[in-house]
Amino acid sequence: GSSGINAEYGDFPFLHFVYHQFAVQMKLLSLTLLLFGLFNQIFSSDTVVLRFGKDPHSYIKLPSPPFSSAITVCGWVNRLTNHHDFHQYWMSYGVNSSIAEFGISDTGVSYMFGGGMLPSRYRPLTIREFHHICYSWGNSQGTQTGILYYDGEEIGRDETPISRDLITPGNLILGQYLQYDTMESVEKLRYFGGELAGVVIWGIELREEEVKEVYGRGMCAEVTVGIINQFFRWDDILELKRHGTVQEEMIQCNDD
C-alpha cells in the first residue's frame, strides 16, 4: 500500500513518483497486450496446409468423382522448389483408356482430354508465395469450355469437344502428375513438392463472379460458394490417407 511505499522511500518523494509512474506504465502495457491478443483472435486465424515431399511418391488419393459433365477445382498453391523449372502438377485425374485426362499445375498450365491449355496471360513464376488457382469446366456457355483463373482473374480458356465428358471411374490425386489410372504412370520429374491449402472440388462449373468470391474471402475462410455441389472439401481431404511424405503445417492468416 501507499504507507509501505512512503516508509520505504521516506524523504525521497522523487523515487515515489518514479515508482508510481512505472506502475502506471506497466498496467497500461498489460492492458495493451491483452487488447492486442483479443484483436489477433478476432482478426486473424490459423489454417492447415499440406506440404508434399519433394519426390514422386508423396500424394493423397481422393475418391473418383461421381459426375462427368462439369467440374471445378480450386486451391491455394505454394511452389517451393524449381526441381522442374516449369509445370509441377498439384492435381491430376487419370483413367485407364485415355492419357492425361485432367490436371492442373502450379503455374496454371492445365490439360483436359490429353490436350494442354496454356494461359493467354502468364503470371510471373513465384517461389514461396501462395496463389489461388482454379480450373472450371462445363457447357454453361453453350460450348464445352475450360476456364483457368489465377488469383481471381481469368488467364485462359479453351474449348473441348462438345460430345466429350470426363471418363469415370478414375484416379484423382493431389501432389503428382498421373498420366493413366495407376501410380506406375506417374511422371517422376513433375511431382509437386510444394504446399496446398483450401482445395475444393465442385461437380459444377463455377461462374467468374463465384471464383472471384472464393478468392476474395482468402485462404483461411470457409468456402461456402456452391456448397450443395461441393464434391470434396478441404476438411475432407485432411482426413484422407497420406502416402509418402505429406506433412501438416499451421500458418496464420491475417485479414486485411
pTM over 0.85? The answer is no
pLDDT single digits (tens) 59-71? 999 999 988 899 9
Q: What percentage of the chain carries pLDDT values higher than 70?
A: 78
| Single-letter residue type at 216 | G
Higher pLDDT, 162 or 72: 72
Instruction: Specify the range with the lowest mean pLDDT, choosing from 100-109, 145-154, 236-245, 246-255.
Output: 246-255
Label residue 20 by pLDDT band (50, 70, 90): low
Is the pLDDT at 49 greater than 90? The verdict is: yes
DSSP 181: S
Mean pLDDT, range 212-239, rounded to an integer:
93
Q: Is 200 exposed, middle or buried (0-12, 13-18, 19+ CB in 10 A)?
A: buried
CA distance 196 to 54: 14
pLDDT single digits (tens) 106-123? 988 899 998 887 777 667
